[in-house]
Amino acid sequence: MSDYDFDLFVIGGGSGGVRAARVSAAHGAKVALAEEHRVGGTCVIRGCVPKKLLIYGAHFAEDLADARHFGWDVPETSFDWIRLRDAVLADVTRLEGLYTNTLDSNGVTLFHERATVSGPNVVTLASGREISVGKILIATGAWPDTPQFPGAEHGITSNEIFHLDAVPKRMVIAGAGYIANEFAGIFHQFGSHVTLVNRSDVILRGYDEQIRDRLLKISTVKGIEFKFHAAFEKVEKQADGSLLVFTTNHDPIETDLLMFATGRRPHTQGLGLENAGVTLGERGAIIVDEDNRSNIESIYAVGDVTDRVQLTPIAIREGQAFADTVFGGKPSRVDYHNIPSAVFSHPPIGAVGMTETQVRNLHGTAKVYTSDFRPMKNVLAQRNERALYKMVCHPETHVVLGLHMIGPDAPEILQAAAVAVKAGLTKEAFDDTVALHPSMAEELVLFK
């Protein structure tokens, strides 16, 4: 019998924490989990899931317009934000219940309150109760990182965007990463005039240059504005409730809503990690080894709080590996190579592996194949928007080192193609595969 109240105490009820808790309990550990907000974490409550539901809703704007070219008599339409918002929030509540039930059914004790670290083997709840634990797992994720300047308090983040009372007529989004571009596409389709403000002239840093340039071109044609080399100076609230945004190198921007999408910071502030001597990185991330262990033997961390790869599937895999290694007797580590990712912009992007620039920097040159085409549906719908698929190969072995796509359903197609990149297949393996015709995905096996 353990000398502690619990073998494992998990702080944070997001995807990584819930997976680690339930699997550890299934391995026989006595487990508790504390979540001060809602079980499900960023992805389920205020991130991937509600955002993707809004994206589905936004796509109907173009789908309804396109339907007329396919013979459908579509009457004049209108959009009800409140109906969609409430339906999305209701589904979030449903999913929260499923996550909670998962913990309950696996015998995990759930504390709906804040927990902090008081020592290597002690956790203190907000209610004042001290709990002794064998091991502590920090899975508190990340939090929006907002800039500091006069009037910044008038802006919101992706945490609050799902709770708006109305779609703003004008919207300024600070940043040009995936969150900024995704919400730009969403609210543009809902009828907002969207302006992205970025301190550099690069969007989607880390993605292939051709792909991100294509998104910039398409977004601009749609009517989304971009203000580059623009640093925020101040924001003033006007008498009518609107905002006046002042930046460098540009005229002031009048807007009804300012949203910050300027990155996310590991959520470690106020957790008491200093009480246990846990080493943190420059941005507050918990520094861990390949087995998710910090410099303190009894304290581990998984997910965005480690600032390694901020993706929900990675947090889940890290939680699984932690539980299997520490409590399951099955040592396991996460492979961070060739992780597929998506940007649910409008149109969406899918990517896996190295960009062309990365391959050229590593090998001196690269074999690059592209397919720049107009999807069949867009042709009949008289929509000039083009898709772009790109394959980057090793210059000598022809192993596919990267696949990058922008176009309808790109993330859905990329998931299957990512298996081939992960397996180290060559361009010839794609060539030898018969095309599935007519489809957009067939372009992946028809590169010349």
Q: Which residues are tagged catalytic?
A: 437
Per DSSP, helices labelled H in 223-337 are 312-326
Structure tokens at 30: 């006595």
Q: Residue 382, class by beta-carbon neighbours within 10 Å (0-12 exposed, 13-18 middle, 19+ buried)?
A: exposed
Half-sphere exposure of 424 (CA within 13 A, CB side): 2
CB 301, CB 213: distance < 8 Å? no
Q: Do the beta carbons of residue 309 and residue 142 sit within 8 Å?
A: no
Question: What amino acid is encoded at 186 in this protein?
Answer: I
Residue 6: closest CA among 140, 139, 129: 129
**Distance between CA atoms of residues 264 and 146, nearest Å:** 8
User: Cα–Cα–Cα angle for 399, 214, 373, nearest 5°?
Assistant: 70
Number of H helices, E strands in the chain: 11, 22
- 144: number of Cβ within 10 Å: 21
The two structure tokens encoding residue 393: 């190969």
Residue written as tokens 């947090």? 315
Residue type (1 letter), 380? L
How do strand 6-11 and strand 264-266 relate by DSSP bridges? unpaired
Distance of alpha carbon 272 from alpha carbon 286, whole angstroms: 12
Tokens 């002239």: give the residue: 201
Q: Give whole-number Cα distances, 366 to 236, 295, 355, 372, 405, in Å.
A: 50, 41, 10, 19, 18
Cα angle: 136, vertex 145, 92; to 5 degrees: 70
Cα–Cα distance between 294 and 287 in angstroms, integer?
Answer: 6
Sheet holding 367-373, edge to edge: 341-343, 349-353, 400-406, 387-393, 367-373
